[in-house]
Amino acid sequence: MRVLVVGAQSHIGFALCERLLEEGVEVMAFFLDPPTEINRRLLEERLMLVGRNALFQGSFSQERWQAEQIDIVIYCMDSGQDETLIERKRGCLKKSVEIATELTRQFVLITSDTLHINNQRYLENHLKTYSIIKLPKLFGPFQPPEEPIHQFLISYLSNKQETLVIEEPILFIKDAVNAIIEMIGKFETGKVYSFLSELKNEEFEAFSVELKMNAMRIIDDESIRCSIKNQTTIEMGLIEQLSCIKAYKEIYQI
């Protein structure tokens, strides 16, 4: 099986590529230009970690997409609203939909729960076979630097006494990609899948973190609910994310 992952520079996109490679799946990854120098250097480091894997092919150019060899098209839409990338994101979505249509391949859109509505209308109008995965807020290694959890951990390393209050559903990045891998091949056409967290309200004194909202809040749409069980705890996930920040502290400029 060969998978095209569009938007592979995103938090979920690259993590999904790594997990697919672990499963022995051939991956063609398409990257948008990172919006900041920090993001660019982090992407370079991650590409070095993948190395010369025979199953992996990465590209910043649509001209190098080998569409005839693709079995599944996955578009990873991050939540970034960088104006310089919005038009290119739309162009990549259009191109990936065209490929899925031409080859009659499965198309999967992975997005946050606030971004899927307009994109679902677009897919309905252009595809016969598609599925959408709605994810809650993700955290873990290589989380975008602008995210509050990342900023909190930077402050933690600087010995600043701050408290992080999390008031929305949250999911560890590796738990998200594991759940997606399990679902590939099982998606129903035209369905939206909402991945839910099993985390409960809790406090973590070691990090001064308080999870105030039960992450299994009611979703007011008709999507299919997919609970993520046996998931990584907030504390263990923060420890792993903190280790990543320490490993790349020069890139993060701390």
The pTM (predicted TM-score) of the whole model is 0.89
User: Which residues 6+ apart lie within 8 Å of 165 measured at CB?
Assistant: 209, 210, 212
Parse the chain into domains and list their residue ranges.
2-252
Strands lying side by side in the sheet with 130-135: 56-59, 26-30, 2-6, 72-76, 106-112, 130-135, 191-197, 224-228
Closest by CA position to 56, among listed 9, 17, 89: 17
Confidence of residue 83 (pLDDT cuts 50, 70, 90): low
**Residue 122 in tokens:** 């677009």
Q: At what angle do helices 11-22 and 37-50 cross, to 10 degrees?
A: 0
Alpha carbon dihedral 45, 47, 51, 56, in 10-degree steps, equals 170
Q: Does the structure show a pLDDT above 50 at 141? A: yes
Distance of alpha carbon 6 from alpha carbon 180, whole angstroms: 15
The C-alpha atoms of residue 43 and residue 58 are separated, in whole angstroms, by 11
In 3D, which of 228, 131, 227 has the Cα closest to residue 185? 131
pLDDT at residue 35, as a whole number: 82
For helices 11-22 and 173-183, the axis angle rounded to 10 degrees is 60
Q: What is the mean pLDDT of residues 244-253?
A: 94
Give the CA radius of gyration of the chain: 18
Residue 26 phi/psi, 5-degree rounding, is -75, 135
Whole-number Å distance between alpha carbons of 83 and 161: 34
Assess whether pLDDT exceeds 70 at residue 13.
Answer: yes
41-77 pLDDT tens trace: 999 999 998 888 999 998 887 666 666 678 899 999 8
Decide: 70 and 107 in contact? Cβ < 8 Å. no
Give residue-wise pLDDT tens across range 168-210.
Answer: 888 999 999 999 999 887 888 888 898 887 776 666 667 777 7
Q: CATH says 2-252 is which class?
A: alpha beta
In the chain, % of residues over pLDDT 90: 41
Q: Quick one: pLDDT at residue 209?
A: 76
Question: What's the mean pLDDT in 234-238?
Answer: 89
Average pLDDT of the residues in 238-253: 94
Q: What is the pLDDT of residue 215?
A: 44
